[in-house]
Amino acid sequence: MLAEGKPQVTGLVLFKQFYAYGKLEVVFSLAGFPMESDTSPRAIHVHENGDLSDGCDSTGGHYNPWKVNHPQHPGDFGNFHPKGGNIQKFKSNLRATLFGPQTILGRSVVIHEQEDDLGKGNNKGSLLHGNAGLRLACCVIGKLTTIAITKSGRRRRRRRRR
């Protein structure tokens, strides 16, 4: 879902976790950031709800099942710097999980307009959401079972072994 009047950020966010107590990994392949703001970091977070009925505004707050101050909650992925209007980034050892009662499946990923101050802003908003600004784009976190994504970002069907 894209915010009206804002940069048209599109792409893929792919999560991978092999078993319940394994570390979560994510690949961001995003495009559409304004070239003139290439030096501006963008915050990316998991938000509570997978509800896009009112665009990114209906995704709720940052996913924070432990009720801890920012940036220690599992919904905080930090800041990413666009290059050439794109973010291509692999990140591992995330605090979030795809398994159990605290799964992020069915929640949302939100790309923010500004940098996350990582809880150092000396105000309530900083501890809650990092003062990351408006929401540029978002998506619901779902589950893929039979589709693989090639390095170029194209989908391809997996062949089943017989």
What is residue 154's predicted lDDT score, i.e. its pLDDT? 55
CB contact at 8 A, 73 and 96: no
Query: Has 160 been annotated as catalytic?
Result: no
What is residue 119's predicted lDDT score, i.e. its pLDDT? 73
Four-residue CA torsion sign, 82, 87, 88, 91: positive
List the catalytic residue out of 51, 112, 117, 129.
112
What is residue 25's predicted lDDT score, i.e. its pLDDT? 95
Categorize the per-residue pLDDT at 54 as very low, low, confident or very high, splitting at 50, 70 and 90: very high
List the catalytic residue out of 42, 107, 129, 135.
135
Query: Has 112 been annotated as catalytic?
Result: yes
List the catalytic residue out of 42, 51, 62, 129.
62
Query: Has 45 been annotated as catalytic?
Result: yes
Is 128 a residue whose pLDDT tops 80?
Answer: no
Query: Has 70 been annotated as catalytic?
Result: yes
Query: Has 129 been annotated as catalytic?
Result: no
Predicted TM-score of the model (pTM) = 0.82
Instruction: Mention the CATH class of domain 10-141.
Output: mainly beta
List the catalytic residue out of 42, 45, 107, 129.
45
SS3 sequence of the chain: CECCCCCCCEEEEEEECCCCCCCEEEEEEEECCCHHHCCCCEEEEEECCCCCEEEEHHHCCECCCCCCCCCCCCCEEEEECCECCEEEEEEEEECCECCCCCECCCCEEEEECCCCCCCCCCCHHHHHHCCCCCEEEEEECCCCCCEEECCCCCEEECCCCC
Categorize the per-residue pLDDT at 49 as very low, low, confident or very high, splitting at 50, 70 and 90: very high
